[in-house]
Structure 1
């Protein structure tokens, strides 16, 4: 692509960081949204499409930053028109929907990138590098915490429409657990209170325990709190030869490796001189141009949705849920044949 033509669908809160990224990459951007398109376009010097068909016609890459229930339908529309797709997390509201989107992209020969942006935060990327290099041995116990003010828009809390704290917020750390410790075979979840309608409670906390195929255990905690609650994330990974810890409240994050010599001992502080959202989009554009995988693959999008879906089922039943992620990422026809 000589001129990077991007169609941005959606003009809500997350659209601004995507807009910043596309502008930094020098893209020509067209915006379509039911609300807010003109204001976003005016702020960034973008164009406004009168309808979805016009946006798709003006684009080589379609970037979907709309509420979760619309992700799969919009992605399928863009893919069937032969466009590459970037889609905010989660890729879809269910595993079957996510797999259908990935299948469609495969069949159309276009690229599909779920926007799991935490993989592009420098401190998390450094943790991944340290774990992959064997610096702390085999991961054994992983703990992730993420919390902040509850979103106000009702769809975030409407679990029947693909929302809820697990699918929306905690999916970031479910993806991190998969990235660091591999596939998950069992999921158990509990929550502080049930959300029975689309009205946000003052506070909700959920805990998800993941048993990985290699025997590692991950504990993921997510919280949505009252207005003014400060946003915070942390991750702790204990391995057979040492530990890693990062915390948004602390700088720098530390590495503790008994009897290790010659290492720097610390991960870089999260300065974020380059926005992780921009770094993510740059990687996706380069992956298309170079014909390589990005840091996040389409199949990663399915895996994260499948783990989140299993956690939601565990919340519903109160029991652990067994999971086969290898089957989850099979093409839909193959999966149906296996289950027949």
Structure 2
């Protein structure tokens, strides 16, 4: 950026360090909204703490929302109403109707909205996207994606009524990849083992979501929150009419809850650099707001499939 951008960070959970370090590396001036762990982070990084949202919005140009999913719509709509640009961690909202409302509000207010789907910025996944778009494997016919690791510690991640849930929080990464690579879907089916009880997922849980795309491709997406100490592993295979693309992180060093960095490049830094560059230049970022709504809509359909034990048509 040509001038120092003022960013208000809302949230102090597991992903906050990645956002803070990337923003500082990009020369942003950060303020944090007071949260449970915010003072510790603020002291460690020399960040000013602000006590309430109104005061934070008065002091910044951009709001970076990394708080629990259920809080995203309220914070985003408040920031947009004040004319502030918004970066928001995935998922944009717990329900597609709320996600679409955020997108409409940003468009109506003339502010930028950047949904943070960081897997688009992992170099291996980006290379696969570029190869698919270049026609290197012909027409995509089958995708297999997997993402497993130790489950998170905060209880809200498991509470589907609070915006959590394995499919909504973890597997949305690979749902977004499937949509990015193979296009819109015609039907969605999902299986979760063990099933949730009263809307709360088990602490150790796996799921499979199958997407039938309108173009004929089929995506099979596997996700799992497993026991403490389970290495984080992601994999993707894309099969086309003339070839195959594949990546598996199993040989890379993982760090607990987060996937391993690739090729020495920090995907969070790449993502935020893209957002800030798009903001400055008035160009599109790698992900469009409407695409984030599409991903949440597929998640909604997956949960309907779990409830009805049947595929859900789009």
Shorter-chain TM range is over 0.9
TM-score (norm 1): 0.87
Given that residues 160 and 200 in structure 2 are in contact (C-alpha distance below 8 angstroms), is that contact kept between their aligned partners in structure 1? no
User: Match for residue 67 of structure 1?
Assistant: 68
Query: Deviation digits for residues 187-233 of structure 1, max 9, x if unmatched?
Result: 00001112215766342110000011100000000001011111100
CA RMSD of aligned residues (A): 1.4
Determine if the alignment matches structure 1 residue 87 to structure 2 residue 78: no
Runs of 4+ in structure 1 deviating by more than 6 angstroms, as ranges, are none
Q: Distance in 2 between matches of 1:190 and 1:271?
A: 31
Determine if the alignment matches structure 1 residue 309 to structure 2 residue 310: no
Query: Deviation digits for residues 74-100 of structure 1, max 9, x if unmatched?
Result: 110111110000000000010100000
Question: Displacement of 1:277 after TM fit?
Answer: 0.3
Query: Deviation digits for residues 53-75 of structure 1, max 9, x if unmatched?
Result: 11111111100000010011111
Determine if the alignment matches structure 1 residue 98 to structure 2 residue 99: yes
User: Match for residue 186 of structure 1?
Assistant: 187
Q: Which has the larger radius of gyration?
A: 1
Q: Distance in 2 between matches of 1:4 and 1:80?
A: 19
Write the mapping of 1:218-297 to structure 2, written as runs, cut at 5 A: 218-250=219-251, 271-297=262-288
Given that residues 195 and 201 in structure 2 are in contact (C-alpha distance below 8 angstroms), is that contact kept between their aligned partners in structure 1? no
Q: 5+ residue gaps in structure 1?
A: 252-268, 324-340
More moved, 115-124 vs 200-209 = 200-209
Question: Displacement of 1:172 after TM fit?
Answer: 0.1
Q: 5+ residue gaps in structure 2?
A: 253-259
Query: Deviation digits for residues 143-180 of structure 1, max 9, x if unmatched?
Result: 00000011121111111111100000000000000011
Determine if the alignment matches structure 1 residue 213 to structure 2 residue 214: yes
Q: Distance in 2 between matches of 1:305 and 1:199?
A: 19
Query: Deviation digits for residues 316-340 of structure 1, max 9, x if unmatched?
Result: 10011111xxxxxxxxxxxxxxxxx
Given that residues 119 and 295 in structure 1 are in contact (C-alpha distance below 8 angstroms), is that contact kept between their aligned partners in structure 2? yes
Determine if the alignment matches structure 1 residue 7 to structure 2 residue 8: yes
Number of aligned positions between the proteins: 306
Given that residues 165 and 200 in structure 2 are in contact (C-alpha distance below 8 angstroms), is that contact kept between their aligned partners in structure 1? no
User: Match for residue 334 of structure 1?
Assistant: none
Given that residues 157 and 197 in structure 1 are in contact (C-alpha distance below 8 angstroms), is that contact kept between their aligned partners in structure 2? no
TM-score (norm 2): 0.95
